[in-house]
Amino acid sequence: MFFMNLVWQRFTLSSLPLKEYLATSYVHRSLVGLLSSWRQTSVLIQWGDAIAAALLSLVYALAPFASSTLIGLLLGACVAFWLLLTLSDEATPANVSSVTPIHLLVLLYWGVAAIATALSPVKKAALNDLGTLTLYLLLFALCARILRSPRLRSWIIILYLHVSLIVSVYGLRQWFFGATALATWVDPESPLSKTTRVYSYLGNPNLLAGYLLPAVIFSLVAIFAWQGWIKKLLALTMLIVNTACLILTFSRGGWIGLVVAILAVMALLVYWKSVEMPRFWRTWSLPIVLGGLIGILVLAVLFVEPVRLRVFSIFADRQDSSNNFRRNVWDAVFEMIRDRPVFGIGPGHNSFNKVYPLYQRPRYTALSAYSILFEVTVETGFVGLACFLWLIIVTFNTAFLQMRRLRQFRSVEGFWLIGAIAILLGMLAHGTVDTVWYRPEVNTLWWLIVALIASYWTPLAQNQTNLSNLEPTVN
């Protein structure tokens, strides 16, 4: 058992002496602190974290409403400011310890993507998309830095929840007053072909479902994390409105993600509360809660016709036009992977759009592989897929370790980690059959959640009783 634990710690980088390595790294010492003397006299940098939080706030406040071009410009501003902050940092132990195993895996994934770009058959398109990927990964770096402050972490989460509430309210308005379908989102031969699928400000119901999934889970855990009945009622209102709007997207992938996320968050909440439970409830609460949720889902499938039709269409294989479309795209994608299995065709949808037409079936044009795992493999090959899966495993392991640490001290901060774990599971489940994950509205949220987990990281050997930086999430 000791040997297996040691192997797991090595694999997940849990015991990696990052602090010691970075303290002696020539590259780290050469770059970090390069402008530290300027920092002492600069009013701008003295307010650096607040300014960075303001830039992030603009990204997450405008993401559902703004064009991809504007979001790209804001991401560029975030990256530029992150670079300025990093170069002007002092090489203190606090700044050194802000680099986590997740950062290393993100950097490794970027390196694999860079190699895929160099080997791409469409280098110009791949290079352009590598730049876009770099923006997202450095957004993660800035978020991980800023979210280490409990107050700024709380602010970003609250901001996102209020913006998502606005998005959901408009989506519910579309349901009650009707909305024109902007594309063929349902099999035209299905009894639901005339059903309104809400899309709010995002223009696509599948994209809206991907955007709202984190809001549903965060509003659920906020009921436990926020102090005071007024705040808890606000969280409950957000939960009801966001969940209703997500369900009314009739996005099958979104529903799959929602079910996975809800089951995960309830299981983790039971685990969190189990230390306070009598022996009977410690044993049976999890089966009762999960069994109850599954029972409600089964009843909904049996007695709510729209739900039953959408759920059964998942198993209709090629008899459903949406399923048939994906199957034909996947057949072409498998051929693309077969021809370039090691490093793929290069990152991004521009590379995909250049290469996919050479493999596509007649009349089945596509902008992506309609699956995160297939898309990663097409873009960066099996090397990139292995790196991506390693990143996911390290992220979940970090989240579980820190959640267990916070559970010992009953810190409300642990609820956000519970939410983050469930959100990532839900987004991955949704992403197995869709690629809304690559849209700015969803991709920025993905890296926010990963950064949230990274912001809690402490070295395995560090004294776990040091919780002096933990504060209540909402004052």
Confidence tier at 92 by pLDDT (50, 70, 90): low
- Structure confidence at residue 12 (pLDDT): 86
Helix (H) or strand (E) holding 321: helix 321-339
At 8-59, the pLDDT tens digits run: 888 888 877 766 666 666 565 556 666 666 666 667 777 888 999 999 999 9
- Structure confidence at residue 464 (pLDDT): 43
At 263-293, the pLDDT tens digits run: 999 999 999 988 888 888 878 888 888 898 8
Contact 211, 442 (CB under 8 A): yes
User: What φ, ψ does residue 312 adopt, rounded to 5°?
Assistant: -65, -25
- Structure confidence at residue 20 (pLDDT): 63
- Structure confidence at residue 467 (pLDDT): 43
* Beta carbons within 10 angstroms of residue 254's beta carbon: 28
At 158-211, the pLDDT tens digits run: 999 999 999 999 999 999 988 777 665 555 666 666 678 899 999 899 999 999
Q: Where are the alpha helices (DSSP H) in 178-204?
A: none
Half-sphere exposure of residue 8, counting CA atoms within 13 Å on the CB side? 11
At 407-446, the pLDDT tens digits run: 888 889 999 999 999 999 999 999 998 888 899 999 999 9
CA 154 to chain centre: 17
- Structure confidence at residue 463 (pLDDT): 41
pLDDT of 91 higher than 60: no
- Structure confidence at residue 25 (pLDDT): 60
82 against 38, higher pLDDT: 82
The pTM (predicted TM-score) of the whole model is 0.91
pLDDT of 319 higher than 90: no
Dihedral (Cα; 328, 333, 336, 338), 10-degree rounding: -100
Q: What is the DSSP string of 436-460?
A: GGGSHHHHHHHHHHHHHHHHT---T
Nearest CA-CA partner of 448 in 129, 83, 64, 136: 136
- Structure confidence at residue 192 (pLDDT): 63
- Structure confidence at residue 466 (pLDDT): 47
Could you give the percent of the chain with pLDDT greater than 90? 59
Half-sphere exposure of residue 281, counting CA atoms within 13 Å on the CB side? 10
Burial bucket for residue 12 (CB in 10 Å: 0-12, 13-18, 19+): buried
Q: What is the DSSP letter of 14?
A: T
At 356-368, the pLDDT tens digits run: 999 988 888 888 8
Range 383-387 average pLDDT: 96
At 324-372, the pLDDT tens digits run: 888 889 999 999 999 999 999 999 889 999 999 999 888 888 888 899 9
pLDDT of 151 higher than 90: yes
Nearest CA-CA partner of 235 in 215, 208, 255, 260: 215
- Structure confidence at residue 393 (pLDDT): 96
Return mean pLDDT, the chain.
86
